[in-house]
Structure 1
C-alpha cells in the first residue's frame, strides 16, 4: 500500500527545480469514475502504461500493465479527461519527492511524497520550500483535475526562507546531475507528438550547479513577482 502526501509549490521554485534537474513529460488520460476504482492510461517518453487503482479494506492497491504506444493513443482518444505535466524526481533522505508542473488543463505546481506506511507518512516533516498540504483535498488529485478541472487554485507566494531552503537542498542533499532541456507541448498536438512524452535521463558526467546563478535568477523572479503585485 502506497501512502501519498501532496503539497502546493510556488511556481518559481518548480521552474527552478526543473531547470536544474530536468524532468520527464507525462500525459495521462482518465476513464469515467467508478466506485472504489479508477483507471487511466499514461504516456511517458516511448513507454505506455494502463493503470488500475482499487480501494478496499486494506487501503489502495495499484496495478500497472505496459501496453503498445499505439494502443495508448487509441485509449487517450476515448478517455473522459486528460492531463499533461512534467515530473522531476528529487531524493530527500530516504524519500523521493515528485515535482509536477502541469501544462494541461492549466498551470499547476505540486510536490508529492510517497511512503510505504501511514506511520512513515505521518512522521515526514515537510521542508520549508513545500507549500500548504492538499493531501485531503480531493480537488487536487490527478483524476479530479483531468475529469473536472480546477476552478480556483491558490497561488503560493515566493519567500526568502523557502528559497534558502531549496538552495540548501540542491546544494547538500541531491547529487549533481546532467541538465536536460524540456520542450513544453505546443497548443495543438497530434497523437504522434503526444507519444514523445519527454526526454529520458541522460547518462554521462554531471555538471556543477552554480548556486550563485540560481539565487540571482530567483531574485530576478521575486522582483518580477513583486512588480506584478504593485498597483498601476
Structure 2
C-alpha cells in the first residue's frame, strides 16, 4: 500500500498549473469521527459517493459506495464540516502527482505524491517547485480542515529555480539535472479563523502582484529555454 507525501505549493505556481492542466472540482462533507471509523460524502461532477474510512494501524482504509448525486447533495447539508477544492492530476517523470487548490474553508494549495514502500520513502527527492512538507501535520488533512478550519500556512517563496523546475515539469523536460528541494517540515499549524478583513485584503493584493511577476518571468524565460 502506498503512502502519501504532502507539500505546500506557492499560489502563483498553482495558478500556472491550473492554466496548463484541466482540473475537477470536488466537494466533500465530513461527519464527526466515531471510534475506529469515519464517514464522509463526496460530490464530483455528476457522481456522488459515500465513503467509510476504517482506522487501521497502517492508516485509514477507505471503502466507497456510489450514490445518486441528489442523495449526496442532501447528505452534504447534514455534515459537520465541508471542503471544496480543484483537483489537478499530473504525471511528472512517470510519477503521478495531485494538486489540490482548496476554496473552502479557505485558500490553500497542496501537492500530494504517492510513494510506494518499495521506493524506500527516505530516498524520495521532492521537486524544486515543491514547498515545505506538511505530511506529518494533521491540520493539512481534508477532514481536519473541514471540521477545524484552514490551517495558518506559512508563505511559500517563489524562486527562479522553482519556476524553471515547474516549467520543465509541465513541458516534460524533467531530468536529474533539475535542482531539488530538501524536505522542510512545517510546525503544527493553528486555525486561521481569527484573521482580520484587513489581512485578507492585503493577502489578495500580494497575490495579484505575485501572479503578475510570475507571468512576466514565465514569458521571459520560456523563449530562452527552447
What band does the TM-score fall into relative to the shorter chain? 0.7 to 0.9
What is the distance in 2 between the residues matched to 1:37 and 1:93? 36
| CA shift for structure 1 position 49 | 1.2
SS in structure 2 at match of 1:130: coil
TM-score (norm 2): 0.74
Task: Give the aligned partner of residue 192 of structure 2.
Answer: none
For structure 1, list consecutive stretches of 5 or more residues without a partner in the other structure. Answer: 175-214, 223-232
* Pick aligned residue for 1:218 from 211, 214, 218: 214
Residue aligning to 1:229: none
How do 1:78-227 and structure 2 match up within 5 A?
78-117=78-117, 119-172=119-172, 218-220=214-216
Partner of 2:36: 36
Deviation at 1:171, TM superposition (A): 1.2
Contact kept in structure 2, 1:92 and 1:173, CA below 8 Å: no
Aligned residues: 182
Instruction: Summarize the Cα distance change of 1:216–1:59 in structure 2 as closer, same or farther, 3 Å threshold.
Output: closer
After superposition, what is the alpha-carbon deviation per residue over 1:124-143, rounded to whole angstroms, capped at 9, x for unaligned? 21100000000000000000
Displacement of 1:38? 2.1
| Higher RCO structure (Cα 8 Å, ≥6 apart) | 1
Q: Displacement of 1:22 after TM fit?
A: 1.7
Aligned-residue offset at 1:120: 4.3
Q: Which residue of structure 1 lines up, in the alignment, with residue 177 of structure 2? A: none
Q: Is the 8 A contact 1:128 1:162 kept in 2?
A: yes
Structure 1 position 159, deviation (Å): 1.1
For each residue in 1:96-118, what CA deviation from the matched residue of structure 2 results, as whole angstroms up to 9, or x when unmatched? 11101011111000000123437
Look up the SS of the partner of 1:78 in the other structure: coil
- Give the Cα–Cα distance (whole angstroms) in 1 for the partners of residues 168 and 147 of structure 2: 37
How far residue 30 of structure 1 moved from its aligned partner, in angstroms, is 0.6
1:5-84 → structure 2 map (5 Å cutoff): 5-84=5-84
Query: Would the aligned equivalents of 2:128 and 2:162 in 1 still touch at CA under 8 Å?
Result: yes
- In structure 2, the CA distance between the partners of 1:83 and 1:5, relative to structure 1 (3 Å rule), is same
In 1: Cα distance, 2:112 partner to 2:118 partner: 15
Distance apart, 1:35 and its partner CA: 3.0
